[in-house]
Each structure stands twice: as C-alpha cells, then as structure tokens.
Amino acid sequence: MWIGAPGNLRQIKDGATKFERSPDVSVKEFRSLAGGVTTWAPSVMPRRYSLEWEAMAPGDVAHIDALARRISYVGPLVLLDPLAVNILSGRQSEGKGDFRQWEYSASEVTMYATGAAPSSVVANVTSVPTAGAAIGWKHPTWAGFPVPAGSVTWWPWAFGYSHAAKVSGLDLKWYSASGSWLSTTTQTDASRPMVATVPSGAAFVVPSLRVTATGFYSISRAALCLGDAAAYLTSLGSALPTGEGCPGVSITGYRHAATPGDGTYRDISLDLVEVTSATG
C-alpha cells in the first residue's frame, strides 16, 4: 500500500491487520401510502477506510503521523491499494457516465453521452492534426492519476480491438507533483497493452491515445494498472476489470499507541474517507 502527498508516497510494506474499504451507499427508502417502495441513491458513493497495523516500524510511523497531523500537507492524500487492478474510476473504465471524465481539444473532438443512465460516451472526431486527435482519461482531483515508482500498464481495449489501424499512438503523459508536464511515453501499436516505467520526478500520469481518422468512436472499456499487467489484460480481452478508482482521501481518525512489550514500535489505526477536497 502507498500513502502520502502527491510526489511523496511511501510504501507501507507491513501487512495491515485490518483493511476495510466500504462504500457509503446511503440509499434512502420511501414508502407510498399505497405501500409501494421507491429508493433514492446519491450519484457519488465515497468509500470509507479503516486500517490497523501492529508493531509498525518507526519510519512508517513518522510518515503517517505527519500526514494525520497535517504537518506539511493538508490534502487530499493519495492512497493506492496494490490489490486494485484498474485505477480508472468505475464508469470511466467502461466508457460511461459524464463525458467530462475525458480531456480533448474542442476544435478536434466533440464528446457526448447517449442512452439511458449510466449513459455511454461517444467521441465525434471532426478534425485530425498531423499527430492525431488526442483523447485523454482525466482524474477528478489532480493533474493525472497518482503513480508510485515502478511501472504502469495502459490499454484502451475497445480502440485497440476495433480501431487499432486508426490510432497513431497510445500515450502516457507524465506530470510533476505541481502539475507541470514532464514528458510523454508513446507506443504506436494500439493492439496490445502498453507498459512504461514511471520516470524520475513523475507524480501523476494521464493515459491517452491519438486518433488519425474522423468519425464516431465509442469510448468503451479501458484499464490503467500499477505494475506490468500486460499479460493479464491480454488474457481478459474485452472482459477488462471494472475500475476501482483512486480518488483523494482525508484522514478522519488516528490512533497511535506503543506496542505492548516493545516501545520501539507502534500500533497504528487510521480512518479515512474519499473526498473531493481537504481544507484547513
């Protein structure tokens, strides 16, 4: 698990004795006078985390303690679960929902949602520059999706399967913690997953692609994974895992106690919630 401020993530290698990650569903039930039942659910269902460690090492304790007390960073914080296969958001990973989950040039592409909710997203490419019309998958909070050191795998399966000949490149655009563009890694073959090493200084990545022909394109399924997941994604084909997302989080509860029998170590517990901002 990685946790920290963007660009300053620390991997907590000790296994948590408790790891709960439950969505705050908050579905409300209403009953009519006739007895019929209807329900209402919010459009956003933030997850709440409850984490506990026993005998945590001093370096990890100091890192988490500074985060919890907001010593040098207010938030939102990055929390990356290594078991989350696809870090795109749920509907974004399936090409559904709000078309503002994608970035593009309005002079080249028009994006819109069609059909019943959750609507499918379609890109109408109307103009193609020399390098191709770019479409990127956006993170809701930061300049891109947060990444630790290592590698990432990117595959917009629908484009690779149906439109590979019309895609001039798959791109991973790297940004610093301040949101400044650093570099772009490109793969010209869209028919297979792209694996790239996170460059030094990179805190965020924006996965994207470039289309070389005008027309209508269904966004459909895509995956952005931590580590080299190329073989796994290839074996799945169209059945890519639904995105679990990696929104910012805020620490809402923190308990810190000496480990019984050895004061060098600490028993730590954290409560966190997914947020759109963190102030104060």
Q: Of 192, 193, 168, 173, nearest to 183 (Cα)? A: 173
The pLDDT tens digits of the residues spanning 248-266 come to 999 999 999 988 887 788 9
| pLDDT confidence tier of residue 280, bands split at 50, 70 and 90 | low
Q: CA-CA distance, 11 to 14, in Å (whole number)?
A: 9
H/E stretch holding 113: strand 109-114
Question: DSSP secondary-structure letter at 96?
Answer: B
More confident residue, 65 or 83: 65
More confident residue, 211 or 115: 211
The pLDDT tens digits of the residues spanning 103-117 come to 999 999 999 888 777
Q: HSE (CB half, 13 Å, CA atoms) of 47?
A: 17
Does the pLDDT at position 16 exceed 90? no
How is residue 87 written in tokens? Answer: 């870090």
Q: HSE (CB half, 13 Å, CA atoms) of 165?
A: 1
Q: Which domains occur in the chain, in start order? A: 2-81+246-274 (no CATH), 90-236 (2.60.120)
Length of the chain: 280
